[in-house]
Structure 1
Amino acid sequence: MSPYDTVIRAGTIVTASDTFDADIGIRAGRIVAIAEDLGDCPDTIDAAGLLVMPGGIDSHVHISQPSGEGVVMADDFDSATRSAAFGGNTTVMPFCFQDKGQSLRDALAWYHGLADGNCHVDVSFHLIVSDPTPHVLGQELPALAEEGYTSFKMFMTYEGLKLTDREILETMTAAKRSGARAMIHAENDDAIGFLRDQAEMAGNTAPRFHATTRPIPVEREATHRAISLAEIAGVPLVIVHVSNREAMEEISRARARGLKVYGETCPQYLVLTAEDLDIPEGAKNVCSPPPRDKASQVACWEGIEQGIFDLFSSDHCPFRYEDTSGKKHPKGRQSFRWIPNGIPGVETRLPILFSEGVGKGRISLQRFVSLTSTNHARQYGLYPRKGTIAIGADADIVLWDPEQERTISQDILHHGADYTPYEGFKVTGWPVLTMVRGQTVVKDGTLAASATGLHVAREKPGD
């Protein structure tokens, strides 16, 4: 009788540090053996010719998040996590949104009610702090950090979400005391409002003006200010969805001063540009920060290659295009101001980076694993349980065919949106099996298991 529930045989294992050929033995949902030949097992998965990698961890996704009056996100937890699994992900980290006047615990209870029993991969919530009252910062946030909710996000823009500099400092200080990881969306809201009003007064209301009213200086200034506030508070900081060289330079200068500042970028900044908003269906590509120009695209690739970016996330924020309150007819109004802000991407994140990064020689296989899995686990307190292939780790594994060619199309995807911004994009490299804690969830393009994903409490991240 085999000592293993499952053996993955004859694959090429890739971690953030190594590549080697071996079998993997799995028992009770965990990796218990890695060796050249683990013998016979009734449940054997043949991985010959395939890459065996830690499942993707997408640490920046929005699921079932309130998005304004009459606007509904296209994905619930069932569809979003199903899409994630088909894309080779085994853990996603959605945001738990706190309404003004709401306690963090009440917000979490609501999100857990939506997620529990409906997830195909594991989930772990970040907290969005929009109402940093003394009770929230002094009582709730520290208690929740002890319970495994060890990261939270602040916004410098969006009505109802943005915090003042004083509130950001107070919230960062609470993060420091609680041992939680602070994240920030860095855009200058006053500048955006000024430019948006100027554009509308001039009759410039097409989707392309979403990009011109959120120009690079808006992000650069806010990035500099956020880093300065983190330096004052003495807290590490993750700058999310960085889109351009100027913001990257702020991160690099901060690191040169010895500050712990981490950068994240996303697929839209590697393969889309602002020109993709200046097409008949440009509203499909509206997100914030917006895609930039070709020079910014080149810069973001340099950030991927040179280590300025630690994290590669999707910022999956899906809306439908054709709905009456969707991107095509935002609340019946014709200005870019009202277009639901965000794009789907959790299923296409890994194939795009693998094809454009590994396939074109920009990054190594090990760097791919770091950017898409291991660094996320380390950053947010999931490592070494997740994010690596090692004895004792959860058996969260993706088998990857590096030669399989696909053309990304809405027809082959599984999210709740009715389009993909990457329609027609050709990739080489595709996940063929996704396993979560030893259970095969997706195999050869078919959902192979029911929704058994769990919420995962996290350790406090190291600095």
Structure 2
Amino acid sequence: MSLDLIVRGGTVVTASDTFKCDIGVADGRIVQLATAITDEAAAIYDARGLLVMPGGIDSHVHLAQPSGEGVEMADDFASGTRSALFGGNTTVMPFCLQEKGQSLRAAVDAYHAKAHNNCLTDVSFHLIITDPTPAVLGQELPALIAAGYTSVKVFMTYEAMRLNDAEILATMDAARRAGAVMLVHAENEDVIRYLSDAHVQAGNIHAKAHASTRPIAAEREATHRALTLAEVVDVPVVIVHISNGPTIDEVSRARSRGQRVIAETCPQYLLLTKDDLSADGWEGAKYVCSPPPRDREQQDACWRGLETGVFDLFSSDHCPFRFDDTAGKKRPGGTFVHIPNGIPGVETRMPILFSEGVKKGRIDLNRFVALTSTNHAKTYGLYPQKGTIAIGSDADLTIWNPDLSRTIRHSNLHDNCDYTPYEGLEVSGWPVAVYLRGQLMMKDDVLLGSGSDGAYLLRPA
């Protein structure tokens, strides 16, 4: 048999197994797994001494998303997927935002136009509903879910995007009937608005006020409410970017009642704290995201959630805004309420979890693969095409050097932001090559693919 590629001699890691074998690839798919493949191949990669894992799947990424008047997101599809690729990812799932008054179909078409020929990874969209009209919920959303857009997100915060409980229920019901999974950003906007107004009136306007105006209670209460609404409708729900122990407890209680709940956390809740927002001058704005980083106690709670299996997904919530830019973190106004919420992180997600998790003995290699790839594929209808190394699966492979140490510097990253919140962090373990459907896209920090190589992935309901 003539193969396109043999990856030879590596230690293959999936969510369930670790073993040494050769991998044979033809027509973009894995066709052989054997101790030694003797067939000829057009290309051979010597992976001896290296780990071979399924390509990373980052299922929580914001690219080229409308962000309000005068605000511009730093990454489009070209720069965002480039950064993802260099971080070991082969699939990203950004959010297609329906703006108020906009047709949902028009939003999808416009977002596809932005992505066309600009993707160095495969992509698949989540739909954000901000205007759940009868036409959207009764016609457009069911048709789009049937066409392969099978994940729907709603917000409980941000005035321009949040839905009230009745609207969330109606959206959840439409998603359930059509066979989609719901994602919820759970923070209580009325609590946040109340505290923000009080802070501004008291003259407390610096970046650190962002954290104290979005307390754990606002996230915990909204999560409880979101889970209650999902229980009423009986729809599977993903609670995204969980930052603390009390919110984790809400998820555990819902699961004990038999609910289908997927829990996600992100690197910022493992490494950053609210004290970072108190950096001198306006530097604290670099760490403004929602929910905000908490404290060491809540970091420990999130690590326990990763170690014990409460968390299913480890995503970046890559939401990049340039720091030294009036269309980014330095918007005119000079108060915390003017700072766009979000930080970059798609490229550093996997190295951070590998270094802080695997190398420090908090999680094993198989859990690492589950958290960064396999569980994302299973949650969003991509498995087993994506998220594993198996006969018939796409040959999305990340070759990982577990002993390659690096210091994270933004000057060495590949996004279009102008900073990283993890500047100076020492990490051990880094991807040295990435294959997308058998095509070598990156090797030894050299980009080999092009923007036309990524494909759009439709997903079954």
TM superposition score category, shorter chain reference: over 0.9
Partner of 1:98: 98
SS of equivalent residue, structure 2 residue 231: helix
**Is the 2:235–2:260 Cα contact (8 Å) retained in structure 1?**
yes
TM-score, scaled relative to structure 1: 0.98
Instruction: Give deviations 1:386-440, integer Å, cap 9, x for gaps.
Output: 0000010011110000000000010110001000000001100000001111111
SS of equivalent residue, structure 2 residue 442: strand
Partner of 2:191: 191
Partner of 1:294: 296
AA at the equivalent of 2:154 = M
Correspondence 1:279-290 to 2 at 5 A: 279-280=279-280, 281-290=283-292
Deviation of 1:254 (Å): 0.5
**Is the 2:241–2:291 Cα contact (8 Å) retained in structure 1?**
yes
Partner of 1:137: 137
Q: Distance in 1 between matches of 2:210 and 2:89?
A: 31
Q: Distance in 2 between matches of 1:382 and 1:427?
A: 30
**Is the 2:97–2:107 Cα contact (8 Å) retained in structure 1?**
yes
SS of equivalent residue, structure 1 residue 347: coil
Q: Distance in 1 between matches of 2:435 and 2:460?
A: 23
**Is the 2:73–2:328 Cα contact (8 Å) retained in structure 1?**
no
Q: Distance in 2 between matches of 1:342 and 1:181?
A: 24
Partner of 1:168: 168
Deviation of 1:134 (Å): 1.0
Partner of 1:432: 432
Runs of at least 4 residues off by over 3 Å: none
Deviation of 1:374 (Å): 0.3
Partner of 2:326: 324
Q: Distance in 2 between matches of 1:86 and 1:206?
A: 34
Q: Distance in 2 between matches of 1:236 and 1:109?
A: 27
Instruction: Give deviations 1:118-167, integer Å, cap 9, x for gaps.
Output: 00000000000001111111111111111110001000000110000000
SS of equivalent residue, structure 2 residue 3: coil
SS of equivalent residue, structure 2 residue 42: coil
Deviation of 1:41 (Å): 2.3
Deviation of 1:42 (Å): 3.4
**Is the 2:6–2:23 Cα contact (8 Å) retained in structure 1?**
yes
Partner of 1:361: 361
Gaps of 5+ in 2: none
AA at the equivalent of 1:93 = M
Instruction: Give deviations 1:168-214, integer Å, cap 9, x for gaps.
Output: 00111011101001000000000000000000000000000000000
Correspondence 1:11-410 to 2 at 5 A: 11-39=10-38, 40-280=40-280, 281-327=283-329, 329-330=330-331, 332-410=332-410
Gaps of 5+ in 1: none
Q: Distance in 2 between matches of 1:319 and 1:325?
A: 8
Instruction: Give deviations 1:10-37, integer Å, cap 9, x for gaps.
Output: 0000000000000000001111111111
Deviation of 1:262 (Å): 1.1
Q: Distance in 2 between matches of 1:137 and 1:100?
A: 14
AA at the equivalent of 1:31 = I
Q: Distance in 1 between matches of 2:254 and 2:174?
A: 21
Q: Distance in 2 between matches of 1:350 and 1:401?
A: 12
Deviation of 1:3 (Å): 1.7
Deviation of 1:459 (Å): 1.5
Partner of 1:9: 8
SS of equivalent residue, structure 1 residue 42: strand
Q: How many residues align?
A: 457
Q: Distance in 1 between matches of 2:20 and 2:444?
A: 22
Q: Distance in 2 between matches of 1:73 and 1:85?
A: 19
SS of equivalent residue, structure 2 residue 254: helix
Deviation of 1:56 (Å): 0.3
AA at the equivalent of 2:284 = G
SS of equivalent residue, structure 2 residue 41: coil
**Is the 2:187–2:219 Cα contact (8 Å) retained in structure 1?**
yes
AA at the equivalent of 1:24 = I
SS of equivalent residue, structure 1 residue 43: strand
AA at the equivalent of 1:250 = E
Q: Distance in 2 between matches of 1:368 and 1:246?
A: 24
Q: Distance in 2 between matches of 1:166 and 1:326?
A: 33
SS of equivalent residue, structure 1 residue 13: strand
Q: Distance in 2 between matches of 1:107 and 1:145?
A: 14
Identical aligned residues as a percent: 63
SS of equivalent residue, structure 1 residue 144: helix
SS of equivalent residue, structure 1 residue 434: strand
